[in-house]
A and B are shown apart, each in its own frame.
Chain A
């Protein structure tokens, strides 16, 4: 039976891929490093041209990777409560602007120097801009810095990045479609209006929406959340605003108890599919494309580390933190990770610059590892 043997090959390969993820995760944990860089490397090794290249399961992994992006963005949206987002917007907008300007511009400039299109430049700006809240939150907890006085300052900058993502992702979605200036402006305005509505709904009606969807049964809650998220993400994709944006907005709209329990229930599922996403991102990169982007990627990483560290130092000094605390805040801003890869993934899926994927992979590899080591080193 051909169908059965096809299914068994998919199972074997998928099992192998998940075990590779598990081994990578364990190695990373042993050295107290984030697992994302190792996932990416594993993807590179399993990709085209490699002796252990995957055959049958790439379609499944592609779908898994799509779900991974949707779940990553859903949980990013749930991560902060609407109250935290609105307080962040009121009190930290200045830090948010400095952070965005200092860290997106190097990416944009680098892309323009490389002769890339404007859209690719906007994407690379996003890649260099966004700090990995996942890596940073985990390390702050592991290093026992949750109680430190500079930690609220670091976290509030991350909240601002979350808000900026809510505006940035729809704009990117529109730009990628390649609309004319007028069409583009209308679509951007529309996207921003949708984000505004989602935030207002979340602040005003969040409890009602959440109560409508909530259930005491974990099974029903999980089915409802996943169903609503995939549906909205799919519709958003059809409306050309990218599934990631739709999922993010669902996350922002949820609040209260449902957000609390949803986070707990969804985190392990996100980790599985998120792992597939990082592997898939690596799979798509031809290792032969890596050497040419190595030098620009490392240079960009050095600049990106410096601008982020500068932002952290500046924000901590404004908050009245002493020198050692400023050093810790500076290092804590450096790690880039999942969201840089998500942004790069949006670009590669749209078939933009061939070098975007490899460059982003190298950039994240250097800064996920380097940023984590820097955080440890400042302890």
Chain B
């Protein structure tokens, strides 16, 4: 998705983008904190078909409503490689890979160079699990390492 930014002197900044469905949307961030949500006209692409002006409070509420997807986006962003470093969330399914075994059993670090830095179990998160830590089905392991290292660790962990 490409976001275009246009300064509006004396008013603020306008951002616009085209949605996958082809609608052109814009948001005007005003200097006084108000936001305008605009939908562009298909017949006259320079004009707005509709403008909704929101106070700072209302736009904050709207962002909260959209927030769920934004958190997922954040996680997706985190997975992206940072100069050769890869972070991956790996689900453990019952009876496959290392579920029911300890982290040490998989010899992940020795074989792949990647490390399990945390385990997410239900609502709980366990940072820095040792080699004796027993993995269970349904755990999500957070693995950090080189891109091929993490891919190899994924094969060991998920099976």
Q: Are B7 and A87 in contact (CB under 8 A)?
A: yes
Known contacts A146-B28, A147-B38; A133/B47 CB under 8 A: no
Q: Are A148 and B48 in contact (CB under 8 A)?
A: yes
Instruction: Looking at the assembled complex, report how far the CB atom of A339 sits from the nearest CB atom of chain B, in whole angstroms.
Output: 14
- Cα separation A260 to B26 with both chains bound (whole Å): 24
Interfacial chain B residues near A84, Cβ < 8 Å: 7, 9-10
Q: Are B14 and A158 in contact (CB under 8 A)?
A: no
Instruction: Looking at the assembled complex, report how far the CB atom of B27 sits from the nearest CB atom of chain A, in whole angstroms.
Output: 8
Q: Are B47 and A328 in contact (CB under 8 A)?
A: yes
Q: Are B48 and A155 in contact (CB under 8 A)?
A: no
B111 within 8 A of A: no
Interfacial chain B residues near A145, Cβ < 8 Å: 47-48
Interfacial chain B residues near A137, Cβ < 8 Å: 10-11
Interfacial chain A residues near B9, Cβ < 8 Å: 80, 84, 88, 152, 155-156, 158-159
Q: Are A158 and B28 in contact (CB under 8 A)?
A: no
Known contacts A146-B28, A148-B46, A322-B44; A159/B10 CB under 8 A: yes
Q: Are A147 and B28 in contact (CB under 8 A)?
A: yes
- Cα separation A156 to B8 with both chains bound (whole Å): 8
Instruction: Looking at the assembled complex, report how far the CB atom of A218 sits from the nearest CB atom of chain B, in whole angstroms.
Output: 16
B45 within 8 A of A: yes
- Cα separation A155 to B44 with both chains bound (whole Å): 20
Q: Are B8 and A148 in contact (CB under 8 A)?
A: no
B93 within 8 A of A: no
Instruction: Looking at the assembled complex, report how far the CB atom of A175 sits from the nearest CB atom of chain B, in whole angstroms.
Output: 29
Q: Write out, one digit per residue, whether chain B residues 6-41 have a CB within 8 A of any chain A CB (1) or not (0).
A: 111111001010000000001010111000101010
**Pairs A–B under 8 Å by Cβ, sample size 5:** A133-B10, A146-B28, A147-B28, A155-B10, A159-B10
Instruction: Looking at the assembled complex, report how far the CB atom of B59 sits from the nearest CB atom of chain A, in whole angstroms.
Output: 14
Q: Are B11 and A146 in contact (CB under 8 A)?
A: yes
Q: Name A135-176 residues within 8 Å CB distance of B.
A: 137, 144-152, 155-156, 158-159
A324 within 8 A of B: yes
- Cα separation A38 to B11 with both chains bound (whole Å): 27
Interfacial chain A residues near B38, Cβ < 8 Å: 146-147
B51 within 8 A of A: yes
- Cα separation A88 to B40 with both chains bound (whole Å): 26
Question: Closest residue of chain B to A156, judged by CB?
Answer: B9
Instruction: Looking at the assembled complex, report how far the CB atom of A335 sits from the nearest CB atom of chain B, in whole angstroms.
Output: 15
Q: Secondary structure at chain A's binding surface: helix, strand, loop or mixed?
A: helix
Question: Closest residue of chain A to B30, judged by CB?
Answer: A146
Q: Are B8 and A152 in contact (CB under 8 A)?
A: yes
Q: Are B8 and A150 in contact (CB under 8 A)?
A: no
The residue among A88, A133, A152 with the most chain B CB atoms within 10 A of its own CB is A152
Known contacts A144-B51, A147-B36; A325/B46 CB under 8 A: yes
A109 within 8 A of B: no
Interfacial chain B residues near A80, Cβ < 8 Å: 9-10
Q: Write out, one digit per residue, whether chain B residues 71-83 have a CB within 8 A of any chain A CB (1) or not (0).
A: 0000000000000
Chain A interface (Cβ within 8 Å of chain B)?
A: 79-80, 84, 87-88, 133, 137, 144-152, 155-156, 158-159, 260, 264, 321-322, 324-325, 328
- Cα separation A328 to B48 with both chains bound (whole Å): 12
Q: Are B7 and A147 in contact (CB under 8 A)?
A: no
Interfacial chain A residues near B48, Cβ < 8 Å: 144-145, 147-148
Q: Are A148 and B47 in contact (CB under 8 A)?
A: yes
Instruction: Looking at the assembled complex, report how far the CB atom of B45 sits from the nearest CB atom of chain A, in whole angstroms.
Output: 7
Interfacial chain A residues near B8, Cβ < 8 Å: 146, 151-152, 155
Instruction: Looking at the assembled complex, report how far the CB atom of B37 sits from the nearest CB atom of chain A, in whole angstroms.
Output: 9
Interfacial chain B residues near A260, Cβ < 8 Å: 31
- Cα separation A133 to B11 with both chains bound (whole Å): 12
Interfacial chain A residues near B7, Cβ < 8 Å: 84, 87, 152
Instruction: Looking at the assembled complex, report how far the CB atom of A275 sits from the nearest CB atom of chain B, in whole angstroms.
Output: 22
Q: Are A150 and B46 in contact (CB under 8 A)?
A: yes
- Cα separation A321 to B51 with both chains bound (whole Å): 19
Q: Are A321 and B46 in contact (CB under 8 A)?
A: yes
Instruction: Looking at the assembled complex, report how far the CB atom of A81 sits from the nearest CB atom of chain B, in whole angstroms.
Output: 8
Question: Closest residue of chain B to A144, judged by CB?
Answer: B51
The residue among A133, A149, A260 with the most chain B CB atoms within 10 A of its own CB is A149
- Cα separation A144 to B36 with both chains bound (whole Å): 9
Besides the contacts A147-B16, A159-B10, what 6 more A-B pairs have beta carbons closer than 8 Å? A147-B48, A149-B46, A155-B8, A159-B9, A325-B44, A328-B47
Closest 7 CB pairs of A and B: A147-B38, A325-B46, A144-B51, A149-B46, A84-B9, A159-B9, A147-B48
Interfacial chain B residues near A159, Cβ < 8 Å: 9-10
Q: Are A324 and B10 in contact (CB under 8 A)?
A: no
Q: Are B11 and A147 in contact (CB under 8 A)?
A: no
- Cα separation A80 to B12 with both chains bound (whole Å): 10
